[in-house]
Chain A
Amino acid sequence: MLNKIKWYINFDCQIFTIMTLVLNFMYIIVGEVDDINLFGYIQLTLQHFTLSTVITILFFLFKKIIAMREWYSYLTTWLIVLVSVYGIGSLLFDWFDINSWWSLITLAITIFIYVVIFLLNYIENIKDSKNINEKLNEMRERNSE
């Protein structure tokens, strides 16, 4: 149980960190960073955290469907992400107008964040599996001596 909680907290932190990095980069590009004061920045950070936490909670609630690894599992994953981003980002926090081009840009950013998280996890797992295999080899060599 503790492992599962840790996994979800870690997942929430990953979404929050990558989302904050990407969106801050976007604000710099768009030139909005000069308009944001400290209060605005804290508010924005809390909004990012709310979004990442809502996505994490929805992943937790739909974990059984997601774990099935069928086509509808992937559909559920994307529905959770998109409903959260568009529902919370546009309707609740008013980050963008849902009927504008920003809607498509948001979709592109969402896909980008998803791919970055996915790749980071995969790269970390490749690195860890190499370490584990080295340790297993060492164990076998020790046992055969």
Chain B
Amino acid sequence: MKLNIFKEPQLAETEVTVRYPKMSPKVENLIGTLQAYCSSVRAVKDGSTQTLMLDTIYYFESVDEKSYIYTESDVFDCRQKLYVIEKTLEDTSFIRISKSCIINISKLKSVKPFLNGRFEATMLNDEKVIINRHYVPAFKKKFGL
């Protein structure tokens, strides 16, 4: 893959163009990462609404029909349902790992298999989340396995 970087002072904002001959898992991952980097979601904490860049989010979790956003050290309320978030974040670095959780694989430190077919995912902040065995095939596919 060739990487071209141009400094163009006349541009109002940074532009990224991806040119590829054929779609491949590598290109999909690259586009996903870029989309996650460029996109944002609205989050609520202590009554005030904030905009969070996707690349700061570790995972989304749904508890008692409420959605929460987890960053490195903070938890925010999210007004969107998990299935809406999942749809919005399709083809990004986010992936659903259970009925109640969507994680950002760019914030993933490591994974470990359990005997019962599930995986334990350790995030970069050492938080642990469980990958349900029904979601394991899709999770592996995200890594080209």
Which positions in A face B, CB cutoff 8 Å? 3-4, 6-7, 10, 69, 118, 121-122, 125-126, 128-129, 131-133, 135-136, 139, 143
Interface residues on B, range: 20 to 34
Number of A-B contacts (CB under 8 A): 44
Q: Which partner residue on chain A sits nearest B136 by CB separation?
A: A125
Checking B116, B117, B145 against A131 with a beta-carbon cut-off of 8 angstroms, the contacting residue is B145
> Whole-angstrom distance between the alpha carbons of A3 and B134 in the complex?
7
Q: Given that A122-B115, A125-B119, A126-B113 are contacting pairs, would A132 and B143 also be in contact in the complex, using a CB cutoff of 8 Å? A: yes
Which positions in B face A, CB cutoff 8 Å? 105-106, 108-113, 115-117, 119, 133-138, 140, 143-145
Task: Report chain A residues within 8 Å CB of B113.
Answer: 122, 125-126, 128-129
- A125-B117, A129-B111, A131-B143 known; 6 new pairs, CB 8 Å cut-off, are A6-B137, A7-B134, A128-B145, A129-B112, A136-B111, A139-B106
Interface of A is mostly: helix
Is B110 touching A133 in the complex (CB atoms < 8 A)? yes
Is A3 touching B106 in the complex (CB atoms < 8 A)? no
Q: Given that A3-B135, A3-B137, A6-B137 are contacting pairs, would A135 and B112 also be in contact in the complex, using a CB cutoff of 8 Å? A: no
Least Cβ–Cβ distance between A8 and chain B, in angstroms: 9
Checking A4, A7, A126, A132 against B145 with a beta-carbon cut-off of 8 angstroms, the contacting residue is A132
Least Cβ–Cβ distance between B90 and chain A, in angstroms: 14
Is B134 touching A4 in the complex (CB atoms < 8 A)? yes
Task: Report chain B residues within 8 Å CB of A118.
Answer: 115
> Whole-angstrom distance between the alpha carbons of A140 and B14 in the complex?
23
Task: Report chain B residues within 8 Å CB of A126.
Answer: 113
Is A7 touching B137 in the complex (CB atoms < 8 A)? yes
